[in-house]
Amino acid sequence: MKGVVCACVIFVTACDSTVPIDDSCAGACPQSNIKHLVVIVQENHTFDNHFGRYCTALSGSNPTCTTGPACCEAAPDGLSNLDDVANETWDPDHLSVCEAAEMNGGKMDQYASGTPCSDPRNVATSDPLLMAPYWDFAAKGALADRYFQPVIGQSSANDMFMMRAAFVFDDNTEAPQGAVGVTCTLSGNVQATYTGTTIGDLLRQAKIPWTYYAGGYAAQQAASLQGTCAPATDDCHFAFYPCTFDPSDVPVEYFATSRDNPAEMADDSKFFTDVGSGALPAVSFVRAIGWESEHPGQLTTLSKGVAYVTSVVAAVEASRYRDSTLILFTYDEGGGYFDHVAPAASPDAHPYGTRVPMVAIGKFAKTNAVSHVVMEHSSIVRFIEWNFLGGTTGQLATRDAQVSNIGSLLDPAMTGVTVPEN
């Protein structure tokens, strides 16, 4: 039954046989007290964008302490202010060739000038008043200051690492073949489908319930049945992105086993319904429709994105799932914005891009903590394998076998066991 996790007392990996087991749950017990994982994915901002003014250590000082804003580096002085107006009117070029040129071999010095893609508006830190809720998440939870986008370039290429933990294609060059809404948003892209095993496939095989909740999906699904695209709404006035569902932002849509599977693909409104009704699956991915995703340009504001994320967190914290859920909040990629920290070496031939925010939220997160462990989207896959799939990582035999786990963000006193950092 969807949303049910084995009723068991966790002693490392063993279930207490005296506790009745719900026969409808065929999946294994989690390795830790974390029975539910919610991954919130926003779009196209770097660590320096959103946390460059939260952190207070001198830029380039490489602090080793791990408690509070003094233990992560501030962005360099003199960056412009990224507010709602700036966000809705400028979208940096974030093609892989542009990002690579601006990163300049790790010098991180050609975002404002020096390449055809450079622009002074690429070098900015977000308005502290707008970021206050995110900074509050970091103060109450754990912030990763070495969490990199998995590959240089645009969203779709990076999103694939949350399902495959591997490079699949470059930039936004491919759209998911036959997916709901594909002809409404990406008519110029080559359509493709993939058959490689995903973390969703592994969860399904183990009978662990999971769902990808996406904003605008239900409206576009209904419109597609009529052969049309979802219309504009009072909240968003364009009859195209960012007002409509974009399947290229949803990595499950590229794989035949999960594409538009009603058991695993749903509108984000259903997330709130499932939380309230007790039907939350073990693993949830939550992604806003474009106008609530913070994606720069096209009249998309930061404040609407912040409101969306805080609503997701608030729903969990007000529910029966509060004490059993870990929330991870991150961004698909940096969007072509400046970040001052040179990317770490990636585990394969596809280099990392800029840092993006990652915050662990809820009772399982360390408090007011900063992790300096190098992580990326494949680290989430590795944690899912470890926690929900029997403690064995690397089951996809991709980066999930090589990257760090997320244990540096978590409190063993709350998880009931030490979640590995590697």
- Written as one string, the DSSP assignment of 103-160 is HGGGT---SSSSSTT--GGGSEEE-HHHHHHHHHHHHHSEEESSBB-SSSS-HHHHHG
pLDDT of residue 20: 32
Q: Is the pLDDT of residue 33 over 80?
A: yes
pLDDT digits (tens, 9 = 90+) for 236-275: 988 888 999 999 999 999 999 999 999 999 999 999 999 9
**What is the distance between the alpha carbons of residues 69 and 217, in angstroms, rounded to a whole number?**
38
Per-residue pLDDT, 132:
98
List all residues 6 or more positions away from 158 whose beta carbon is below 8 Å from its beta carbon.
Answer: 149, 150, 151, 332, 333, 353, 377
For residues 176-192, average pLDDT: 86
Task: State the chain's maximal CA–CA distance in angstroms.
Answer: 67
pLDDT > 50? residue 5: no
Residue 8 has pLDDT above 50, yes or no: no
Torsion of CA 245, 250, 256, 258, to 10 degrees: -100
Mean pLDDT over all residues of the chain?
93
pLDDT at 11 over 90: no
Q: Select the more confidently predicted residue: 378 or 17.
A: 378
The whole-number pLDDT of residue 185 equals 78
pLDDT tens, position by position, 66-91: 999 999 999 999 999 999 999 999 99
Confidence tier at 30 by pLDDT (50, 70, 90): very high
Q: Is the peptide bond before 20 cis (omega within 30 degrees of 0)?
A: no
Please name which of 242, 337, 249 lies closest in space to residue 299, comparing C-alpha atoms: 242
Above 70 in pLDDT, residue 61?
A: yes
Instruction: Report residue 186's pLDDT band, with 50, 70 and 90 as the boundaries.
Output: low
Task: Report pLDDT for 314.
Answer: 98
Higher pLDDT residue, 268 or 8?
268
Residue 107's CB is within 10 A of a number of other CB atoms, namely: 10
Q: What is the mean pLDDT of residues 397-402?
A: 98
pLDDT digits 0-9 by tens, 331-376 = 999 999 999 999 999 999 999 999 999 999 999 999 999 999 999 9
Mean pLDDT to the nearest integer, 292-313: 97
Distance CA 50, CA 66 (A): 19
Residue 206 has pLDDT above 70, yes or no: yes
**pLDDT band with cut points at 50, 70 and 90 for residue 25:** very low
Q: Is the pLDDT of residue 24 over 90?
A: no
Tokens of 284: 């949830």
Say yes or no to pLDDT of 141 above 70. Answer: yes
Determine if residue 296 is left, alpha or beta; phi over 0 gives left, psi from -120 to 50 gives alpha, anything else beta: beta
In the chain, the percentage of residues whose pLDDT exceeds 90 is 89
Structure tokens at 44: 């196209």
Is 194 strand, coil or helix?
A: strand
pTM for this prediction: 0.94
**188 — pLDDT class (breaks 50, 70, 90):** low
